[in-house]
Amino acid sequence: MRSSFALSGLLLGAFFSTAVYAQDGDTTTNTDYEVISAPALSSDEIQSEVLIEIASNGQQLVAVGAHGNVIRQDSNGNWVQADVDSSVLITSVDFANAEKGWATGHHGVILTTEDGGQSWTRQLDGFQLMALEKAFYQTKVSALQAQIKEEEDPEVIGELEWQLEEAQFQISNIEVAEEEGPSKPFLDILALNGQTAFAIGAYGTFLKTTDGGANWQVISDKLDNPGGYHLNAIIARGDDFFIVGEAGLLFSSDDKGENWTRLESPYRGSLFGAHLDNADNLWIYGLRGNAYVSSDKGQSFEQIETGTGVNLSAGVATESGDQLIVGHSGTILKVDTDLNVEALRHPSGSVMTDIVVVSDGKWLMTGRSGLLHWPAKVTEDEALASQQGAQ
């Protein structure tokens, strides 16, 4: 079991080597929480600053990133900065429809928009998250103590006592965090409709809302994750949901997230991203260029010979059936229907964290250098001469 405040690689300075994924090893605690409520600063250079994820509201693209920055395309295709009442690093964004969306960030922040991404307000922060989790585990402790008192089977009692110890340990962690301040980041958000969304994050954090975000429910115990490993990405199509995370974590649900099964993972290292292609094949990828595809909803996998050792962050399917997977060092992998891999490289050489298809043969990525285009708008020499990299 691990301390809930031992986070490394989650601060913006670590983004350049590890993106925004949680890693262990650093027990330094950041106690500056003004960023939670301080509004995002306006900037004329926001398109070139760190951006983490990009999503469509069905009409326009919206990208999120460092210092609470959110940018969206206006009706003319120009990028404009949104109004955001927080300046935390924003890690993910998703829309339920053209108006309603959510975004997640560091310090336990969840933001929402009701106007397609023009303005964003906080629905949750790390202090509220600690209160939710503490109440959740206190209720669980009381229920387990009652079960143990009534149970007669020694084997069942042993299992219940183990669960009780784990719940009490979580309460102890939260009490430490109450003294130190919130440190858990959310790492991904999935919007199902205007009322229902799921948020996941570090140390197995898993929340759900069914009332548009007015209230969030802790559902971390729905996942078989006794080690409290980080949850990095959540995706869905129809009734089928998938979560990937640290240490090869892989979960599936076939009933829209009500019940979850832990799947046998093809890789024991961290998985950072996942997507479903046009044929509902599941693609997962992560550390050291590892990527896999499953045609049976994660029951078995075929490894993709990526030819790279860089971390892979995100992917998307094209209308032609190709898969695009992006990662560090400007890496873009184009995988055809026969699983042949064409390795492309953006001239910026930048860490890239997300990708969307704009039109046939044209893609837009986010990353360390902000918004990046394919085909790139400048050469590698021009990129090297720029502090921010190529667009």
H or E segment to which residue 82 belongs: none
Cβ(242)–Cβ(261) below 8 Å: no
Helix (H, G, I), strand (E, B) or coil at 255: coil
Strand residue runs (E) in 74-148: 79-81, 83-84, 90-95, 101-105, 110-113, 119-124
380 has a pLDDT exceeding 50: yes
Q: What is the DSSP string of 260-305?
A: -EEPPPS-SS-EEEEEE-TT--EEEEEGGG-EEEESSTTSS-EE--
In the block, residue with structure tokens 């960023």: 35
Helix (H, G, I), strand (E, B) or coil at 339: coil
- pLDDT of res. 377: 76
- pLDDT of res. 383: 61
For residue range 225-268, what is the model confidence (pLDDT) as tens digits?
Answer: 988 999 999 999 999 999 999 999 999 999 999 999 999 999 99
For residue range 260-298, what is the model confidence (pLDDT) as tens digits?
Answer: 999 999 999 999 999 999 999 999 999 999 999 999 999
- pLDDT of res. 13: 38
The band of 384, judged by pLDDT with boundaries at 50, 70 and 90, is: low
307 has a pLDDT exceeding 90: yes
pTM of this structure: 0.90
What is the pLDDT of the chain when averaged over all its residues? 90
Cβ(326)–Cβ(365) below 8 Å: yes
Higher pLDDT, 19 or 284: 284
17 has a pLDDT exceeding 50: no
Helix (H, G, I), strand (E, B) or coil at 345: strand
- pLDDT of res. 5: 31
**In the numeric block, which tokens belong to residue 187?**
């790492």
Sheet architecture: strand order including 119-124 = 83-84, 119-124, 110-113, 101-105, 90-95
Q: What is the DSSP string of 140-186?
A: HHHHHHHHHHH---HHHHHHHHHHHHHHHHHHHHHHHHHHH---PPE
CATH of 12-129+181-384, one of 3.40.1410.10, 2.102.10.10, 2.130.10.10, 1.10.220.110: 2.130.10.10
% of the chain with per-residue pLDDT over 70 = 88
For residue range 313-364, what is the model confidence (pLDDT) as tens digits?
Answer: 999 999 999 999 999 999 999 999 999 999 999 999 999 999 999 998 899 9
Residue 178, Cβ neighbours under 10 Å: how many? 13
Spatial distance between the Cα atoms of 321 and 162, rounded to a whole number of angstroms: 47
- pLDDT of res. 19: 44
Residues contacting 324, CB < 8 A, separation 6+: 315, 316, 317, 318, 332, 333, 334, 335, 355, 357, 363
- pLDDT of res. 360: 87
25 has a pLDDT exceeding 70: no
23 has a pLDDT exceeding 70: no
Spatial distance between the Cα atoms of 379 and 298, rounded to a whole number of angstroms: 40
Lowest mean pLDDT across 101-115, 165-179, 184-198, 375-389 = 375-389
Spatial distance between the Cα atoms of 138 and 132, rounded to a whole number of angstroms: 10
Q: Is 281 exposed, middle or buried (0-12, 13-18, 19+ CB in 10 A)?
A: middle
The band of 390, judged by pLDDT with boundaries at 50, 70 and 90, is: low
- pLDDT of res. 16: 37
For residue range 43-83, what is the model confidence (pLDDT) as tens digits?
Answer: 888 888 999 999 999 999 999 999 999 999 988 888 999 99
- pLDDT of res. 378: 65
Spatial distance between the Cα atoms of 366 and 351, rounded to a whole number of angstroms: 9
Higher pLDDT, 112 or 14: 112
Per-domain residue ranges of the chain: 12-129+181-384
